[in-house]
Structure 1
């Protein structure tokens, strides 16, 4: 059984809600642990978003991403055809930053395609970027940088990048949109990385659509499209923890396409595996968290749908694996110091492409998946009350 991409997201999410309302968590197995109802009460949107700051000194502020939502009225208007004050997203962003202040600034994008890189600098005021199209697909920000894309040494690939001394753009520098500022919001638009794999040589063909580095970022009705490494979530300072909230969003890719050390919540969203690039013969990992040991929380998917575009055999795609960031191999992994990715998937609908048995793979450093009596850090991957052909039930 596959869930066709043509099936409308609202229909899939409605199915998910009906099924998950009556689902009961089982005891699970060693390779597919299921939370108890008691434990599940600690795996919620509010608990994931409650804390941020420096690891070891996290501050509890109980961030509510739904608070303060206002009607959208543009301070700066962008249209690629020249019918507004700005032709490019970055030009409007630069003006909003120059105007400064602490009040939220609103930037509207007319329906159309914006082939550009966008940098939201750390000193930007709170920014809301929103599309004016009837659907999110009508407003597209896209570019085609990738990890192996060459660049001049001494110059960053864009103002938000930290790759000035490199000869190639690198993974984090490849992002179409980079958000260094806190309190950024995006609504009703699509952000894509259109890089064609193999355009440049190299084993790492990562091409990020968006790099989220600022705390308290909100994405609502946004599509994020790519292949390898679509969505990166993590602060510029590796010792700091940031949070991002995704509601009614689509995240699409084929290899480790939701990754990083930050906290992210995906609510009523679609996590879509794209099998079209190589017929599913590449990647097959959805989540790749590099959560630090000092954080109890990494990625949470709740009331969401895990579906598929393209053709691939059932029971072949992993829910994820731990990204042991900066750990080259198992010999260098240090319990309690090295990253130990965390993911919870609950009350969600899992398609038939998801592996029924052993849906979590060994880590990038070849640390074996382990849930009990482990030589290395015990994996922190959990499920609760999921349904569909790819679920544990």
Structure 2
């Protein structure tokens, strides 16, 4: 993370506080509907993402676009439940040019006492339904090596707690617990869709109980320098009442970690909840040599064999069909698609 943090700091430039400019009118030929522009150099309506979110009216009746010009925007961002349908759109040529980042971890001390916890560590927390983001980067650049005194190193880049959340051409950067896809409570189903995104991390870096589809994504495991265990890609905590947890499809799992040292997943049971039974399918994807021969593993006393794990038609040096790698039947695969996971919501079309 040190090299990434250096790059982000160098790019920070003149990012400052926020302004209180009003809503921008829609010029001829612009994207229709209400919108605001965030620019680090002060040329927009606001200089911080949070200031723009705060300016969106509560209960806005339709899409509200926040256009973000190239720059690094540091600071925690909270999108509340009463502000649905926010569209966060990076204005750079590619997603590397707009970076939204913070640097706190689970064990980072809070100014008012205690620590942030895993959820509180998130650089961006999304509770507003219908949120979407395109062409930008979310990051948590907490520097593990620089803080040996902090033992709880979970550092979330994005936490979702809403239904119908979509990411298109977005990067998620972190180490442990990069992307936390969750729901408001265990009884609620929330859906998340990622298209052509890049997610990186090492330990449990895609986790939570939301129904989540990764479509044509690159999922990159960082090399922790171990010769035996360089982490876990997923840690789903799907409710037993929900048949749909994580679906990774037409994607590629990459790493420069040694061969056979990364696991596809382990079953997370928050607070030892027996009703959290991980559901994860990886299909029609390319698996690098870093994937372990027995890629599903236990989480403490919870056996991976009691979870709902499966693969189908994967390829690459990390793919295999063995007794330790459950496979979908063709009939099961026909019913395990993006459409079945997302139901009446069709962001992929």
TM range (shorter): 0.7 to 0.9
Aligned alpha-carbon RMSD (Å): 1.8
* Separation (CA, whole Å) in 1 of partners of 2:38 and 2:86: 14
The counterpart of 2:296, out of the listed 343, 355, 360, is: 360
TM-aligned CA deviation for residue 368 of structure 1: 2.7
Runs of 4+, deviation exceeding 3 Å? 71-74, 277-283
**1:50-109 Cα deviation digits (max 9, x unpaired):** xxxxxxxxxxxxxxxxxxxxx9557100100111111111111111135x4312100100
* Separation (CA, whole Å) in 2 of partners of 1:290 and 1:271: 19
Consecutive unaligned residues of structure 2, counting only runs of 5 or more, are: 1-29, 322-349
TM-aligned CA deviation for residue 203 of structure 1: 3.0
The counterpart of 1:88, out of the listed 48, 52, 59, is: 48
Q: TM-score, normalised by structure 1?
A: 0.71
Consecutive unaligned residues of structure 1, counting only runs of 5 or more, are: 1-70, 154-165, 328-332, 371-377
Where 1:97 maps in the other structure, the secondary structure is coil
Where 1:218 maps in the other structure, the secondary structure is strand
Higher relative contact order (CA 8 A, sep 6+): 1
- 1:225 lines up with 2:185 in the alignment: no
Residue aligning to 1:146:
105
**1:200-250 Cα deviation digits (max 9, x unpaired):** 624320000000001000000000010000000111323212110000001
Q: TM-score, normalised by structure 2?
A: 0.79
Contact 1:117 1:143 in 2 (8 A): yes
Task: Give the length in aligned residue pairs.
Answer: 290
Residue aligning to 1:315:
260
* Separation (CA, whole Å) in 2 of partners of 1:244 and 1:354: 25
Residue aligning to 2:120:
173
Contact 2:230 2:257 in 1 (8 A): no
Contact 2:204 2:233 in 1 (8 A): yes
Contact 1:148 1:200 in 2 (8 A): no
**1:123-148 Cα deviation digits (max 9, x unpaired):** 00310001010000111001101101
* Separation (CA, whole Å) in 2 of partners of 1:366 and 1:316: 21
Contact 2:239 2:275 in 1 (8 A): yes
**1:308-349 Cα deviation digits (max 9, x unpaired):** 1xx42111110010011111xxxxx6xxx4311010000000
Where 1:326 maps in the other structure, the secondary structure is helix
Distance 1:94 1:200, change over 3 A: farther
* Separation (CA, whole Å) in 2 of partners of 1:93 and 1:317: 38
- 1:212 lines up with 2:171 in the alignment: no
